[in-house]
Amino acid sequence: MSKLSVRSVNAVIDGFGGTNAMAEVCGVRASAVSNWRRTGRFPARLHLLLLSEAAQRGIDLTPADLIETKPTIPRDDRDCRSRRCPHS
């Protein structure tokens, strides 16, 4: 599964019309969609469906929106992982 920010997942679900509408589009129960909201993840198996449905509905959604991105750690903060942390 890919992980998005919960904010992004909520925006996508809301763009489809909310939890029940998204559940209908994806062929799942509303509880599954609620779980996606909570975890910030869409199942990878649904990415193509979501992209296709978004295009048909005029929702701005790209493959990059569904790919997990890991935040980069600024160089200054790398020392915080060690005993040399200047913030302690």
What average pLDDT does this structure show over 36-62? 91
How many domains is the chain partitioned into structurally?
1
Q: What percentage of the chain carries pLDDT values higher than 90? A: 43
Q: Which domain holds residue 35?
A: 2-69
Q: Torsion angle of alpha carbons 12, 17, 18, 21, nearest 10°?
A: -110
Listed range (35-39, 57-61, 81-85) with the worst mean pLDDT: 81-85
CA 51, 14, 25: angle at the middle one, nearest 5?
A: 50
What beta strand segments (E) does the chain contain?
2-3, 41-42
Q: Is residue 39 part of a domain?
A: yes
Residue 62 is assigned to a structural domain of this protein: yes
Q: What is the CATH number of the domain that holds 33?
A: 1.10.260.40
What is the phi/psi pair of residue 77, to 5°?
Answer: -85, -10
- Residue 51 within a domain: yes
68-88 average pLDDT score: 52
Query: Does a structural domain hold residue 18?
Result: yes
Residue 13 lies in a domain: yes
Predicted TM-score of the model (pTM):
0.68
Question: Which pair of structure tokens corresponds to residue 51?
Answer: 């992209």
Q: What's the average model confidence in pLDDT over 7-29? A: 92
**Residue 45 resides in a domain:** yes
Spatial distance between the Cα atoms of 9 and 66, rounded to a whole number of angstroms: 9
